[in-house]
Structure formats: structure tokens, C-alpha cells
Chain A
């Protein structure tokens, strides 16, 4: 039995009578960059919430390097190596950009509260430089534009030294130019060894990044394959467009 970096078995969640996530099974292997798509309300963000501890599952396992973190509180899941970003960016808006990253550093085990703050600043600066925000480190996070906020969220998430990074709709609300800056950044992070799972609605951009795509609909995983495979999958097309076949993934 292959154990990936992230193994999800029988993940289930009910909200009232509604099955938000219905018996989802996925295995993410080392080095993968996987996309997650699905119509609105399919349960994509709930899926992330269940993995990262923001919502408690009703059933199933979430194995991170063999450890079942299902139902753990978010900070413990982060300690175990899974970090996430949010669909609507959650900055520490009243803190400076560099402080946003420093907080993430402070949370790491072994990176004590009492250790030198100069070390914190140095490491945070390095991280911010990697995402291209080194010229904005002194600004208040709340004053950043959308594109920069996404970069900051990525920086913050990587500061926790995760094994797996879940990115929730990184391109939403961004201009074409901003998207073009973000794509190579995500690719770089993946090449450096970070396992990435991305939720996105912008299918064209997602297909450029992900060689494997999961499709959720009504909480169920209805397809799992390459972009070509899923664009031709009847059930997937039906989920997005009703019963008509149409141009899928094209403008």
C-alpha cells in the first residue's frame, strides 16, 4: 500500500443533513502539484478545512506522513507539516509585512519566543525576498494590494516549513499580470520540494500548473487524472455545464 505524503481516506462531513464531503479518498505523493476543481458549492474549501483542522470531520482519516491528523486543531496540523492559505486573504493587517512572516516563524517548534529577534528578521527577510516582497517589508500588511497579499500569504505559509501546502484560490481577484507573477512562484516552490494542492476556478491557469487534477462535485470526488483526462470526462463536464457539452477550460 503506497503511502503518500498526504493520504485521505473516507473523509466525510455533514452539515445538518447535507453531505458537504462524501467519502473522499486521495493519495498525494512526494513532489506532486495537484489541482482541485469543482463547481461552486462542491466542497473544495471544506475539503481544505477538514484537512487543516478548521472543521472537524465526521468520518475518515487524514494521514500526514502516516500520522492521522483528522480532527486535530489547526495549529497542531501546521506543526505536523501541513499549511494553507485562504480564499479571502487573512492578513494581520495591523502588523507590518515582515511581522506577518515573523509570527509564522515564532510558531515553529524550537524557534523560541526568547531567541534572538535579529535571527527572526533575517529569516523573514529571506522568505519575503523569495516571493518578491523584499521592498515592502516595512509596510503595513493591510495596505498591500491583492496580488501582494497573496504573495504574503504564501510567504507566511512557507515560513512554517510545511511539507504540504494547500493553496485556496490564489488567482481569484488578481489581474492577468499579477497571475503571471504568481504562477512561476508556485512552480518554484514545488520544484524546491514542497508538495502543493491548489484549489482554483481559473481553469486555464490551473492546468498550466497542475499535471494532476481532482474534481469535486457535491462533496464527492468524481474524477482524478491529468487535465486532458478530466476535460474529456463526461461526469465532470456535466457537473460544470449541466447536460450540455461545451467548451471546457477555454475562454
Chain B
């Protein structure tokens, strides 16, 4: 029973982080039709920026959070404007240029901070007892809490506010959105900004538990890929469900076998989807051929 509760809680934390990370990636695809392979860089960059803010600049927790996350948002806007927009007509070109940038930024970070993993201090250096028997870092529970709150905020934003609905409009029917006066390019900027913010927050909150490495942008990307393939074409609910499935699967495999084996989960899931239903878990609007 104790093991089951462990899985429930740790799985929730893992899924929460994955939701934060994959929502942005899925959103950019669903709205702008592109895969931004520099998405993991927001996650990595925020963690390092946060580290510098806390340790080199002594900015304190809240300010460091704000600076690091906003910094990633700005980076996202720069990438969108100077690198993605010029080639946005070709999905492949976007993937190539964004992966080239991600590659470059990894080296920048490596040069700036050196190859040794950086350790960040947890915000709350405690262990909690959750659901009676589960012992878990407060930091992780914090990350889970933040994920849930942000998911709710995002949901409200998208369904209730004007910019949010503009995002929905462009995602569903770009021509129609243009027709009613929405500028898709502005919406793309908004979406990638949100994606970076979410990924950056994920990075800030989870880095204290796993450390920061320059190549930490790669593994989350694989996970995001699995989420998109499992969750279907940019469907928001599908994304959250897929993130839950992957997060929990990883934790279960981790407990049952080993954490190395859990790294194989995203790929295995992709394989299963490809073998049985290439259109994904939550197919978007049925399209005529």
C-alpha cells in the first residue's frame, strides 16, 4: 500500500513537471504548426539564469524566479522573430534552425558555467510526509503545486481572456481568425512566450532536485515528442492526459525496474502509438482527404 501511495505522489510530481514542459511545446505546434526544438533550452536556460541570479547576483528567491523566467520569455521572442519567422513556411527549416540554436546555446552555457553540474538550493529544504506515508522533498511538492496552479491559470487565460481566445481561434482556423482581424504572427509570439514561461518555471522548480546541466534540454524534448505523438495534434486535454500517462509510466517503471529503464518510456510509448494508432490518443477534428 505504501508503495502504491509513493507511486501516486511521485507520479503526480513527475506528471506535473511534464505538463508544464509539454504544454508549451504542444501549444506552439497546435497554434503555429511548428516544432520548436529549442523548447528544452527554456527549461535549461531558466535553471542556469536562476542559479546566477541567486548565487552571483544575490537577488533572492522571488526576484531570481522572475528574472530567469522572464529572461526565457525574452529569449523566446528573439528566437521567434529572428530565427523562426524567416522560415516559418517550412516546418523542417524551423526544426533545423531551432535545434541549431539550442545546440549553440548549450555550448554558450557550457563555456560560461563549465562542465560541472550546478546545484541549486531547494526553496524549502525539508522533507514532507504526504498522504500519511509518502516521504518526499518539499521542493517537489512545491513543483506539483505550481504545476496545478499554472494549469488552472492557463485554462482560464485561454478560455476567458481575449488574447487567450485569439490563441484558440488561430489554432482552430487560421484563415477565419485573420478574417475577424486577429494577427496570427502576434499570436505566435504570445504562444511561444507562454511556452517559454511554463518551461522556465518547470526548470526553476525542478532543477534544485536534479541539478543543472548544459545538456538538460535534450531529454525533456524526447518527452515532449512522446506527449505530442500520444496526445494528438495540439489538443490541450490530450496533452495533459499524455503527460500524465508518461509521467506515471516513468515513475512506475522507475520503482519496478530501474531509473535507467524509465528513460526508455517515452520511446516505448511512441512505438506503441505508431504500432496501433498513428493518429494519436485524442484525434483532432476529423479531416476529409
Chain A residues within CB distance 8 Å of chain B: 15-16, 20, 45-46, 49, 54-55
Give bound CA distance, A3 to B286, whole Å: 35
What's the A-B contact tally at a CB cutoff of 8 Å?
10
Residues 254-289 (chain B) with a chain A CB within 8 angstroms: 286, 288-289
Q: Is the CB of A54 within 8 A of B286?
A: no
| 10 sample A-B contacts, Cβ–Cβ < 8 Å, listed by A number | A15-B286, A15-B288, A16-B286, A20-B288, A45-B289, A46-B288, A46-B289, A49-B289, A54-B289, A55-B289
Main secondary structure of the interface of A (DSSP, over half): mixed
Give bound CA distance, A55 to B288, whole Å: 9
Give bound CA distance, A80 to B288, whole Å: 25
Give bound CA distance, A20 to B287, whole Å: 12
Give bound CA distance, A15 to B289, whole Å: 10
Give bound CA distance, A45 to B289, whole Å: 9
**0 or 1 for each of B10-36: is its CB under 8 Å from A? (1 = yes):** 000000000000000000000000000
Chain A residues with CB below 8 A from B289, complex form: 45-46, 49, 54-55
Chain B residues with CB below 8 A from A55, complex form: 289
Give bound CA distance, A31 to B286, whole Å: 37
Task: Identify the closest chain B residue to A50 (Cβ).
Answer: B289
Chain B residues with CB below 8 A from A20, complex form: 288
Give bound CA distance, A15 to B285, whole Å: 10
Chain A residues with CB below 8 A from B286, complex form: 15-16
- Expressed in whole angstroms, the minimum distance between the Cβ of A110 and any Cβ of chain B is 30
- Expressed in whole angstroms, the minimum distance between the Cβ of B276 and any Cβ of chain A is 16
Chain A residues with CB below 8 A from B288, complex form: 15, 20, 46
Q: Closest 7 CB pairs between A and B?
A: A16-B286, A55-B289, A15-B286, A49-B289, A54-B289, A15-B288, A46-B288
Give bound CA distance, A45 to B286, whole Å: 16
Task: Identify the closest chain A residue to B288 (Cβ).
Answer: A15
**0 or 1 for each of B236-262: is its CB under 8 Å from A? (1 = yes):** 000000000000000000000000000
Give bound CA distance, A54 to B288, whole Å: 11
New A-B pairs, 8, CB < 8 Å, besides A20-B288, A54-B289: A15-B286, A15-B288, A16-B286, A45-B289, A46-B288, A46-B289, A49-B289, A55-B289
Give bound CA distance, A15 to B287, whole Å: 8
- Expressed in whole angstroms, the minimum distance between the Cβ of A19 and any Cβ of chain B is 13
- Expressed in whole angstroms, the minimum distance between the Cβ of A18 and any Cβ of chain B is 8
- Expressed in whole angstroms, the minimum distance between the Cβ of B159 and any Cβ of chain A is 24
Give bound CA distance, A49 to B289, whole Å: 8
Task: Identify the closest chain A residue to B283 (Cβ).
Answer: A16
Chain B residues with CB below 8 A from A16, complex form: 286
Task: Identify the closest chain B residue to A48 (Cβ).
Answer: B289
Chain B residues with CB below 8 A from A49, complex form: 289
- Expressed in whole angstroms, the minimum distance between the Cβ of B280 and any Cβ of chain A is 16
Give bound CA distance, A46 to B288, whole Å: 8
Give bound CA distance, A104 to B288, whole Å: 26
